[in-house]
């Protein structure tokens, strides 16, 4: 916290980079795509195993 207080511009830049990373990795589109892939994989597994 001291560093952020003493270096406010650097702290702001770090925060902006972190925000951009989170928005990129955890966007609705990305998470929705991952969920869709998982559901499709589970459906394929179910078809192969006969629903067991």
CA distances (Å), 43 to each of 15, 18, 31, 40, in order? 40, 35, 18, 5
Of the pLDDT bands very low, low, confident and very high (cuts 50, 70, 90), residue 50 is confident
Of the pLDDT bands very low, low, confident and very high (cuts 50, 70, 90), residue 51 is confident
The domain total for the chain is 1
Q: What are phi and psi of 50, to 5 degrees?
A: 75, 25
Domain span at 16: 2-49
Query: What pLDDT, in 10s, does the model give residues 25-36?
Result: 999 999 999 999
pTM of the predicted protein model:
0.63
Q: Decide: residue 11, CB within 10 A, 0-12 exposed, 13-18 middle, 19+ buried.
A: middle
């Amino acid at each position: 916290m001291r560093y952020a207080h003493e270096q406010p511009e650097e702290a702001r830049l770090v925060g902006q980079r972190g925000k951009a990373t989170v928005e990129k990795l955890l966007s609705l589109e990305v998470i929705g795509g991952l969920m869709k892939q998982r559901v499709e994989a589970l459906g394929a597994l179910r078809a192969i195993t006969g629903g067991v």
